[in-house]
Amino acid sequence: MTEAAVCPRCQGTGWKLVDRDGIAGVERCDCYQQERGGRLVEAAAIPALFRNASFETFSTQPENPVAHRALQTAVTVAASYAREYPAGVKKLGLMFIGDPGTGKTHLAVSVIRRLMARGFECVFFDYQNLLERIRSSYDQSSGAAQREAYRTALDCEILLLDDLGAHRVTDWVEDTVTSLITYRYNNNKPVIVTTNLRDSEAGDAPVPSGMAGDVSSRWYLSERIGIRARSRLFEMCRVISTRGVEDYRMRKNR
């Protein structure tokens, strides 16, 4: 390390001397938080498309009254969670539920970026990709790294599980997601999930008959992850719904 790179306030120790009413003490230096924040962001494995997603770059669409109401609530709840976790939140996790393209992943990433800036470890997993990695961890030749991924999903401080239920249902999938959610539930470890599956608990009306549109939102959460995982998720998570908001990807293309 070069001379200039050493923090002048703490000489690179991460602790600085402070004087409180004439009594000398030590305190974490700001450079420690910054460095830890940087390491956490790297380890979080946020996909490139969302790496810079933040509350600041999220529009609550003031020009559209219906969307505006839902998005403003979503931002308020998400931002207060990010500010008050863990002591000041009633439920340790969050569930973003709503149609495709309505900003669920954007907001979930905004939350974990704030949490990491506060020093909490967060890890992003795409649900489908995580399942594939768990499946291939049983394969002797490619196992170790994949087993590590599963371990991280089980044990990391805050797990962001993106696009929950976006997978065809098999007993294996249901068992795997149930054991992951149950493990975190039993150990009081929060999850932040996003999903476009429907659920009456989140205020979703029954599927309209002959509904066109996106196929995935015709499914109910319980059909894709099973009733046990669903029940635990609702107990663990505060729900943030973006149902009914217009698809931002389509809007941008107009």
Query: Interface with ligand ATP by CB under 6 A: which residues?
Result: 53, 57-59, 61, 71, 100-106, 163, 194, 196, 248-249
Contact between 70 and 241 under an 8 Å Cβ cutoff? The reply is yes
The yes or no reply on residue 61 touching Mg ion (CB under 5 A) is: no
Q: What are phi and psi of 45, to 5 degrees?
A: 60, 45
Residue closer to Zn ion (CB basis): 27 or 84: 27
Calculate ∠ Cα 250-58-90, nearest 5°. Answer: 115
Residue closer to ligand ATP (CB basis): 2 or 57: 57
Query: Of the candidates 104, 120, 103, which has an alpha carbon nearest to the alpha carbon of residue 44?
Result: 120
Residue closer to Zn ion (CB basis): 17 or 207: 17
Contact between 111 and 148 under an 8 Å Cβ cutoff? The reply is no
Residue closer to ligand ATP (CB basis): 91 or 243: 243
89 binds, among Mg ion, Zn ion, ligand ATP, none (CB under 5 to 8 A by kind): none
102 binds, among ligand ATP, Zn ion, Mg ion, none (CB under 5 to 8 A by kind): ligand ATP
Contact between 240 and 103 under an 8 Å Cβ cutoff? The reply is no
The yes or no reply on residue 9 touching Zn ion (CB under 5 A) is: yes
Q: How far apart are CA 64 and CA 87, in angstroms?
A: 35
Stretch binding Mg ion (CB under 5 A), from 72-80, 98-106, 171-179, 235-243:
98-106
Q: Tell the smallest beta-carbon distance from residue 115 to ligand ATP (Å).
A: 17
188 binds, among Mg ion, ligand ATP, Zn ion, none (CB under 5 to 8 A by kind): none
Calculate ∠ Cα 248-74-251, nearest 5°. Answer: 10
Per-residue DSSP letter, 220: B
Residue closer to Zn ion (CB basis): 7 or 117: 7
Q: Tell the smallest beta-carbon distance from residue 58 to Mg ion (Å).
A: 13
Among 60, 61, 102, 105, binds Mg ion (CB under 5 A): 105
Question: What is the pairing mode between strands 122-126 and 15-20?
Answer: unpaired
Q: How far apart are CA 139 and CA 165, in angstroms?
A: 24
Residue closer to Mg ion (CB basis): 165 or 226: 165
Q: Tell the smallest beta-carbon distance from residue 25 to ligand ATP (Å).
A: 44
Q: What are phi and psi of 50, to 5 degrees?
A: -110, 5
**Tally: H helices and E strands in the chain:** 9, 7
Q: Tell the smallest beta-carbon distance from residue 48 to ligand ATP (Å).
A: 11
Interface positions with Zn ion (CB under 5 A): 7, 9-10, 29, 31
